[in-house]
Amino acid sequence: MDLISYAELAVLLVNSPDRLTGLEGLRALLQESGRSRQASRLTRADLDALRALREELVAVFEAAADGNEREVVARLNALLRRHPVHPQITEHDGEPWHLHLTEGGRFADQYVVGAVMGLATIVTDLGADRLGLCQSPPCRRAYLDTSSNRSRRYCSERCASRANVAAYRARKKVGQDSGGR
Ligand SMILES: [Zn+2]
Ligand SMILES: [Zn+2]
């Protein structure tokens, strides 16, 4: 069971506020991320639960981006208490026996447990500073830094190159303002 990949569920939710305005948007988001089976049984209650979870996860990523490790841990622990894990060994679709973190229950319950356990694993295995918010304004999308030297600062290549261009222009401007060429 790769819990770090579960953390991508948290990132997906944080970065998709525009898809949480209605059931259709959420359904499309799940289909695009390869979860068609789950998309087919979504309810209004799932949508409400995932919207609430998104708010909580944004706060977790903001605390991490501020370097506030204790707040990250306190927020994740509160989520873990509210969403207990019910692991079950299962097999389906020709896969060998494997663990599911939460069997049964609503789709949203399974999503919450996956996302929160994923983040908890990253924080304990790699460190809270692995959760970040893009530093190319005004982006602020969430990302997971799984690089070996903790060097990631942007959500995407696009934001990284935009930030590089902005930094280059700023340097050039400083050069001109001080009369240097
Ligand atoms: Zn499975
Ligand atoms: Zn970005």
Q: What are the tens digits of pLDDT across the range 89-112?
A: 999 889 999 988 877 778 899 899
Distance 91 CA to ligand 1 centre (A): 6
Measure the CA–CA gap between 173 and 181, rounded to whole angstroms.
10
Mean of all residue pLDDT scores within the chain: 91
Q: What is the largest CA-CA distance in the chain?
A: 70
Distance 164 CA to ligand 1 centre (A): 41
Instruction: Please report the pLDDT score of residue 178 as a whole number.
Output: 66
Which pTM value belongs to this model?
A: 0.88
Distance 101 CA to ligand 1 centre (A): 9
Ligand nearest to the backbone CA of 159 = 2
Taking each helix axis from N to C end, the angle separating 23-32 and 44-65, rounded to the nearest 10 degrees, works out to 70
Report, as ranges of residue numbers, the positions in the chain whose pLDDT lies below 70: 1, 178-181
Measure the CA–CA gap between 65 and 57, rounded to whole angstroms.
12
Instruction: Please report the pLDDT score of residue 1 as a whole number.
Output: 56
